[in-house]
Chains A and B, each alone.
Chain A
Amino acid sequence: MKIKFWGVRGSIPSPGTNTVKYGGNTTCIEIRTDDNELIILDAGTGIFALSQVLLSEMPVTANVFITHSHWDHIQGLPFFLPMFVHGNTLRLHGAFDPVSGRGIEQIMEVQLQYSYFSVREAEMKARIEYETLMPEQSVRIGSATITPTLLNHPVINFGYRIDCNGKSVFFTGDHEPYCNIYTPGDEGYEEYWMLIEDKEKSIIEAMRGVDVLIADSSFTAEEYPSKKGWGHGTFDSCIAMAKKSGAKLVYCTHHEPTRSDEALEREFEKALLRHPQQDGGPECRLAREGEEILL
């Protein structure tokens, strides 16, 4: 299995001299199975650069899995160049939206409206298919199995585990550790903790023993208190999750858009000092646009 980061930035693209090293594109991860099947996790702006490379290997069947519908995870989709060419296939996978009552087709429809984009979906030349997924229900893509898990974000967010020939990777999309909505002394306090513990256990099981965990670590521990409820994790929560689940290697991603390369490394180092690597514990890295991992 091969993994490549095409976008590691959170919230909004952040090009410029301060982000040259880690990159300014928003979330997009390419995964190639051993049989070279193409799986793309999220369609942030990073997908545009990926799609240019794909033009050299058409016809392409792209299996795109969207973690959630926030802009930074979908906004590159209209610029996914293979969509404009006959013979290619785009299979878009993602969650059902309980508020709108719509499936994953909604994210394409919303973006390809007259006022916002010049080409309508009907005018796209590639074959476009939609598969709305359910939590814990695995789907097969050739030699790979992809399993969605419901995580914690202000909109429905799936973390995806990809298993292929004994190798595995889990990508959280955006995820904030759960917190109790009650305060000590409130009637629902203990009950809510039990619900959280059950849910956290099931998430750790879903990422159990993966070779690579790619997790949302937007904030520093110092920043987090003022960002509570925004739906993002910290370097510390990301490393803790990796330790609990027995992940071998963890990549911190969804870098905060105003964080310079220098600041990113500094904050990451500080987190590593708080969580020194132990024998057999996960190796921790910062996700960097363009980096490839071979499993």
Chain B
Amino acid sequence: MNQISPELEKKLTEAVEKMPAFPKSVQKILELTRNLDCEPKHLVQVIEKDPVMTVKILRVLNSVHCNLPNKITSVNHSVVFLGFNTIKNLALSIASVGILPKYNTAGFDMQQYLLHSLTTAGIAKLLGDKLAGADPMDCYIAGLLHDFGKVVFAQFMPDEFNRALLKRDSENISLHLAERQVIGVDHTVVGSMLAEKWQFPPTLVDCMRNHHSPDAGEGVMWASVYAANQISKKMSFGDGGNHCIEALPPAVRNYFGGDLDEIIASLGDLSKIVEEAQFFFQVGADA
């Protein structure tokens, strides 16, 4: 059984409303918005590097109030549709909630999680560039948000999530299996449940739901995120908490014409993606 109970669904949905964003992006938003002539593109760059900020902006944009003809996944879209000042004030109101604590009782390293998410996003974008019909920016956002369920667990179900992390270590199993055994559902279910509730585009919901389901997912965006997630783990870029590297399903291999190592080789030097993420958030530094 990998289904979320209505009670848990309600609890998590309400909790995420009050969820703070990552410290570095909150700090940068506050810095940037102090200046009246703040460059819109700089603000967009900060929002796009924070899964919580991105989720909250996209949630507003995709809500019934905006009634957009096509569901939207990029922060640039949000600036065109709602205007820069509205996005700036939304970002400020998210920043005013506070910051995600550096240490949580779950024992989950948020900085390493963020690095894993950012590198998965960057690699998914590179992969999306290679596939006809894929929107690289959509792939980026899907990569950034694929593990969103984990940060929700860490923040709002820290004891259960901690037991899942311990079980992962003691039984040497993947984190999502441990989550299912301890919590009853894994992060893919929680993340995609929220994304669906916020009326995110179906392809994005599908990526969040099926990035550990070799047989259930489909489409170019899913393939890009599935592969990018494994590549990020294989290259040890950050740590999303799951150390098992999964073989690529045939559908994903077909898209890219090779297995994991061949795709990695085809991508060339990935260090720029890691450096960008580290530079932006100074992962590992105390500041």
Interface on A for B, CB 8 Å cutoff?
Answer: 95-96, 98-99, 132, 134-137, 150, 152-157, 178, 181-182, 186, 188, 191-192, 195-196, 199, 202, 229, 231
Contact = CB atoms under 8 A, between A and B. Distances in A.
Nearest to A186: B41
A258 B70 CA distance: 42
Contact of A154 (B41, B68, B83, B137): B83
A188 B76 contact: yes
B103 interface: no
B133 interface: no
A157 B82 CA distance: 9
Contacts of A99: 86, 89-90, 93
Interface stretch (B58-66, B142-150, B212-220): B58-66
Nearest to A132: B65
Contact of A199 (B63, B80, B90, B93): B80
Nearest to B64: A134
B90 A98 contact: yes
A155 B41 contact: no
Contacts, number: 70
B137 A191 contact: yes
Given A155-B85, A155-B86, A199-B81, A98 B65 contact: yes
B81 A134 contact: no
A72 B204 CA distance: 41
A154 B40 CA distance: 12
Interface of B: 39-41, 44, 60, 63-69, 74, 76-77, 79-86, 89-90, 93, 137
Given A98-B60, A136-B69, A191-B137, A152 B83 contact: yes
A228 to B, nearest CB: 10
Q: Which 3 A-B pairs have CB atoms at the shortest separation, nearest pair first?
A: A154-B85, A181-B40, A96-B65
Contacts of A157: 83
B85 A181 contact: no
A152 B86 CA distance: 10
B84 A181 contact: yes
A202 B76 CA distance: 17
A155 B83 contact: yes
Nearest to B57: A98
Q: Which of B66, B81, B83 has the most CB of A within 10 A?
A: B83
Nearest to A98: B60
A229 B77 CA distance: 17
Given A96-B65, A191-B76, A182 B41 contact: yes
A153 B85 CA distance: 8
Contacts of A188: 41, 44, 76
Contact of A192 (B66, B76, B93): B76
A150 B89 contact: no
A136 B65 CA distance: 11
A241 B22 CA distance: 42
Contacts of A155: 83, 85-86
A132 B65 CA distance: 9
A195 B85 contact: no
Contacts of A153: 83, 85
Given A98-B60, A99-B90, 7 more contacts: A96-B65, A98-B90, A99-B93, A155-B83, A195-B76, A199-B81, A202-B69
Contacts of A96: 65
A156 B90 CA distance: 12
A134 B67 contact: yes
Q: Which of B68, B74, B80, B90 has the most CB of A within 10 A?
A: B80
Contacts of B89: 99
Q: Which of A153, A188, A231 has the most CB of B within 10 A?
A: A188
A96 B63 CA distance: 11
Contacts of B137: 191
A157 B86 CA distance: 11
B50 to A, nearest CB: 17
29 contacts: A95-B65, A98-B63, A98-B90, A99-B89, A99-B90, A134-B67, A135-B66, A137-B67, A150-B66, A154-B83, A156-B82, A156-B83, A156-B86, A157-B83, A181-B39, A181-B40, A181-B44, A181-B79, A182-B41, A186-B41, A188-B41, A188-B44, A191-B74, A191-B137, A192-B76, A195-B77, A195-B80, A196-B80, A229-B85
